[in-house]
Chain A
Amino acid sequence: MIVRPRLSDFKVIALYCGKIIIGVGLLMVVPLVVSVLFGEWNPAIDFLLGIAVCLVIGLFTEVFCQTTRDLTWSHGLVVAGFSWILATAIGAIPHWLSGHFGSYLDAMFDIMSGYTTTGLYLLQDLDHISNGLNMWRHLLTYAGGQGIIVIALTFLIRGTAGAYKIYVGEGKDERLLPNVIQTARAIWLISLTYLVVGSAALWAVGMNMGQSPFRALFHAVWVFMGSWSTGGFAPQSYNILYYHSLAYEIICAVVFIVGSFNFALHWAVWTGKKSEIRKNIEIISFFITMTIAMLLVTAGLTKLGVYPDIAASFRKMFFQVSSAHTTTGFGTIYSRTFVVQWGPLAMIGIILAMAIGASACSTAGGFKGIRMGLIFQSMLHTIRRLISPESAYVVRKWHHITTRVLDDSAVHSAMLIVIFYILTYAVGAIIGVFYGYEPVQALFDSVSAGSNTGLSCGVTSPTMPAFLKIVYIVEMWAGRLEFMSLFALGGYIIALFRGR
């Protein structure tokens, strides 16, 4: 029997969604300050309006939805799913008011892309937007990478009983520490330390390239945010190609690959367990699949003779493949280069890398290395069982922070999520083909959206059909939340009409 949600259920959900929306409003203070510093008064007013809407909604829920009930698991999942939609709709206000978007849907597309660290964008005339708006775009990806729930957990939600349930709903189901608030703080400690180190390195390179100190600093911080959160937003339309700097590319690659590691792995390495990095199933899986993707792309590039020497081939291949595999979306080639120069084999290598993605409980998207590792281990386990005597009891172990025994339930849930990802990619690709795009190109951009990567071969543009934009928004959202919250939200809506 499906139980129909009661008023008290909605109150709990609204209360926590309201807290998260207040968090979004507080985030807007940063671009507001930047706008004021640069004397950009129109964007400043846009952000003030955005903050006002967030505070009104947040305070409304605080006053009218106060309840003593704590969150249940289904509440947590619904809050995680619904708050992302709400935060997207409200976060789009400054974007829409900036005049750089063809429609409110386009502004929402960019906000969802930012929160989910995808990096696809429909913003027009990127090279001439205000500093405040640029800060907002990059802050979105940085905050989205940590998880907007993590922000709320850190600053706004103090009770720990229900907090973990929303945290899980956001697709981060690992506790680095026994307490979920401490876990959120550990995530921030790692992210902020890298923010300082990475931005300083990019700033130094930027100034060495001839950028003014102020401009170099802002570019460094923005590019860092895009890299670390595996987001892919950059302040210039030519993305990382704009800088034409090997040092800049190396620092970006290091930052986005580190950013794609599991926060639990970071914490283990940072607290003295260095051997974790060579034993961890996700790192082993990432190395293997990255090698396969690099082989495919290099074979494709070599066959077509795209680059004249090994150095140029390595530089372009490694950056694009690692950017795709970590689901970052930074590029040092033009979008159409994939189609007109790289060819289908290299594109398949990139699609494979994007689809797999990087680590769970990180800022990255895709199937995730842990699931690929588990499925591969399960295959080996099955073969081992088949060749062993019937009476033998075969045990297979895998390592992620602790050594565990491979069990059917872990493999089953890994396979289930991978199937959902494949279905999501396929649906987006089929709809793209329906609108007249080439199958490989439609698949490329669909996988890019569903895996929260952000590389595009030219399908994603302001002129694409509105329905395809909505499909990509849903793909980004579903891919980021790993479907669980999506199903919970769907179940809640069904229960609303069919429940008793």
Chain B
Amino acid sequence: MPFKVRLDPFNLKDPRNYRRYLSGIITEVLTIFLLMGIGFLIAWAIPKLIS
């Protein structure tokens, strides 16, 4: 059975690392957009609740 070779995360010559970095950045940015969505919901709902 072939064994899985661990990727060296510091090896900048390996293009798979760039894919992983980009994927990580997209995950983090999407999380922040989720937070922005919550913020917008609050800015929309609170004036309706208070008035």
Contact = CB atoms under 8 A, between A and B. Distances in A.
Given A197-B25, A254-B32, A266-B24, A310 B47 contact: yes
Interface in B19-47: 20-21, 23-25, 27-29, 31-32, 35-36, 38-40, 42-44, 46-47
B1 interface: no
A328 B38 CA distance: 20
Contact of B46 (A257, A266, A302): A302
A280 to B, nearest CB: 10
A94 B44 CA distance: 48
A193 B31 contact: no
Given A270-B24, A317-B43, A189 B10 contact: yes
B27 A314 contact: no
Given A270-B9, A271-B9, A299 B46 contact: yes
A276 B29 CA distance: 14
B10 A269 contact: no
A186 B44 contact: no
B50 interface: yes
Interface residues on A, range: 35 or more
B38 A302 contact: no
A270 B43 contact: no
Interface string A285-311: 001001100110011001100000010
A121 B37 CA distance: 33
A269 B28 contact: yes
B24 A298 contact: no
Contact of A271 (B20, B38, B40, B42): B20
B36 A318 contact: yes
A295 B32 CA distance: 17
A182 B9 CA distance: 11
Interface in A206-226: none
Interface string A254-293: 1001100100001001111010010000010001001100
B33 to A, nearest CB: 8
Contacts of B42: 291, 294-295, 298
B43 A310 contact: yes
Contacts of B31: 277, 283
Contacts of A274: 23-24, 27
Contacts of A185: 10
A302 B47 contact: yes
A155 to B, nearest CB: 16
A430 to B, nearest CB: 33
A272 B44 contact: no
Interface string A177-209: 000001001100100011001000000000000
A314 B40 contact: yes
Q: Which one of A261, A303, A314 has the greatest number of beta carbons of chain B within 10 Å?
A: A314
Given A269-B27, A310-B47, A314-B43, A290 B10 contact: no
B24 to A, nearest CB: 4
Nearest to B51: A302
Contacts of B32: 253-254, 257-258
A237 B41 CA distance: 32
Contacts of A98: none
Contacts of A303: 50
B35 A317 contact: no
A266 B39 CA distance: 23
Contacts of A321: 39
Contact of B50 (A271, A302, A318, A322): A302
Contacts of B9: 186, 189, 270-271
Contacts of A253: 32, 36
A274 B20 CA distance: 10
A124 interface: no
Contacts of A258: 28-29, 32
Given A186-B9, A258-B32, A271-B9, A317 B27 contact: no
Interface of A: 182, 185-186, 189, 193-194, 197, 253-254, 257-258, 261, 266, 269-272, 274, 277, 283, 287, 290-291, 294-295, 298-299, 302-303, 310, 313-314, 317-318, 321-322
8 contacts: A182-B10, A186-B9, A270-B20, A298-B42, A298-B46, A299-B46, A310-B43, A314-B39
Task: Rank and list the top 4 A-B pairs by shortest CB-CB distance, nearest first.
Answer: A270-B24, A314-B43, A318-B39, A298-B46
Given A302-B46, A310-B47, 4 more contacts: A197-B25, A298-B43, A303-B50, A322-B35
